[in-house]
Amino acid sequence: MVKANFIFTQYSKSFSVYIKNLEKLTVEQIQEIENFVKLRKGIFDFNTYTFTIQKKIEFLEFVELIQHSNIQAKLSEHIIQVKSQPRVGFGQYKGMQYNELPDSYMLWLKSNYRGQDRDIIDKELSRRGL
């Protein structure tokens, strides 16, 4: 059986995980990952192969969580260079930097947001290839 290949990225108030080989996993493996995310009140985005959980944890804490679950996975950490970035001034993610937002929320903003931060959002969407 193929192991899930997780790439962990930590942000200031959350973390996201890209599943590099999602299309090679069995239905049962994907369901285990979905349950893991759901138990932690996270968001699983099949379009981008990522899940995001609104809790700040370190990579080693994430490794322990996965080891205590039924998920068989290879884990690696993606380290991002954080520069001073514009912050969201509204809604559920108020105060977070745009580069920290889940892909699913960025896609929602793409379709629904028409405010003054539109240029920032478009640049971030372009950077992510969304």
Give the residue-averaged pLDDT of 91-98. 85
- The whole-model pTM stands at 0.63
**Average pLDDT of 109-123?**
90
- Listed in order, strand segments (DSSP E) in the chain are 4-10, 15-19, 43-45, 50-53, 73-78
Query: For a pLDDT cut of 90, what percent of the chain falls above it?
Result: 50
Cα gap 56→29, rounded to integer Å: 25
Please state which of the ranges 34-43, 61-70, 88-97, 110-119 shows the lowest mean pLDDT. Answer: 88-97
Model confidence at 87: pLDDT above 70: yes
* Average predicted confidence (pLDDT) for the chain: 89
Per-residue pLDDT averaged across 69-80, rounded? 88
Measured CA to CA, the distance from residue 99 to residue 120 in angstroms comes to: 10
Q: How many Cβ atoms sit within 10 Å of the Cβ of residue 54?
A: 16
Does the pLDDT value for residue 22 go beyond 90? yes
Q: What pLDDT band is residue 71 in, cutting at 50, 70 and 90?
A: very high
